[in-house]
Homo-oligomer: A and B are copies of this chain.
């Protein structure tokens, strides 16, 4: 970790004050967990899964698709290569992973919003990667860069989200090979929270690093991590050039990557929890090891995204108990490995933000909180198995995710927390509404979400009998209407835009990949 810089990057002191008045002071740039992580398996069970992962890496290994350079890199560190197949002597990946930091700072351009990635902290980020968006008025439609900007603004305004995320939705109105410029620029322009970079090609990862240099300065970037990007395996047991190539660019620049097996169990892994966990660990270890060969000590996160499937239809299912068990197990395995862990979110297969969406989302988010996940992608907005970013779903998810602060904060056993004086002086049958203790704790006593309606039936009815989705609709419209951008240094903005223009003009548009 690097000491917190005192200079606001891209803003300045006046800018910071203006920002505070616009979006409120930064009270929780990230969460600190006081409750212990929930352990569903003991040491023996976890050790069995680790051994199985090692056996998989040794006997099957991983396939490296279209990226001979990565094969050479693995071989240089002692892996056994057979064409595009790379196998690892037992323990090799784990030994390489030992050089990765157990915690690191991802700096935001507003230093007040820099986040700590690693125990005992939790950082929440919005959903990632949907080609569609949905809202109550316009329904489901392809996402555009305008939608992307909207979600960048909403994420900036949501105090429950500590991180700007990455591909908030796919701006399909822009050329595939140039979208990343506009996405990264939007994160810089409309927010001052830390963000993620492009991983769809190594060149785009390099573009992201180059843009970050303009925003943060060459010197700062050389010594600090300002980007954290998502590299998914092609499960089972395969890594490709886009992801490993991007991971290489980021690692070389000391920028963080999240190496994530994305597994639909039953299709891309066995149908069992222990089998899925062993495969996830094997795939992630191969990816983490790669970053540490490229640059020992490069910040890296072990990711796990597991879902179950309907054995009748083959459809992915979310909010089910088996992936919850995988999540708890993987969190424990990451702790044993000594690297930060990414998983969880508010996941659902529902097409709309209805009761199904909420039940399923909470059934992932509770394991997320109790597992002590360090970086939570997909905290807000996810619908339809990730195909859709929902405006109302975003507002509802973010609001409910606010409970994490109090939940992971745990039980206050201070004198004030024990409240014994109040208990011993308030008699049987009396109420606590006006006691000195209640009045002293009035402001902070309970978590206060914004979207639930807890009023009486009569009051709710007199206010129009609105369901949650209708209240959420009003809320995001109001948020966008009230939005004020965080200050951004004009010179930096100008340089960034002119650099992007130059790069865009230097090669033709393409929608191929």
Hey, which bits of chain A sit against chain B, CB under 8 A?
35-36, 38-41, 45, 48, 52, 55-56, 59-63, 65, 85, 140, 234, 236-238, 265-275, 277-279, 308-322, 324-325, 329, 349-363, 366-367, 370, 384-385, 387-388, 396, 400, 403-407, 410-413, 416-420, 422-424, 426-433, 435, 437-438, 441-443, 445-449, 451-457, 460-461, 465, 467-469, 472
Contact = CB atoms under 8 A, between A and B. Distances in A.
A314 B267 contact: no
A134 to B, nearest CB: 10
Contact of A274 (B52, B273, B349, B417): B417
A353 B358 CA distance: 10
Contacts of A237: 427-429
9 contacts: A36-B40, A52-B418, A63-B427, A236-B429, A237-B429, A266-B446, A311-B442, A311-B446, A356-B453
A404 B322 CA distance: 11
A325 B447 contact: no
Contacts of A311: 442-443, 445-446, 448
A468 B354 contact: yes
Contacts of A461: 351
A441 B366 CA distance: 27
Given A272-B418, A359-B362, A442-B311, A431 B267 contact: yes
Nearest to A409: B321
A197 B426 CA distance: 33
Contacts of A396: 355-356, 359
Contacts of A325: 406-407, 410-411
Contact of A59 (B321, B403, B424): B424
Contact of A140 (B236, B417, B457): B457
Contact of A411 (B45, B354, B472): B45
A403 B322 CA distance: 9
A32 B442 CA distance: 41
A400 B445 CA distance: 31
A441 B322 CA distance: 14
Contacts of A317: 446, 452, 454
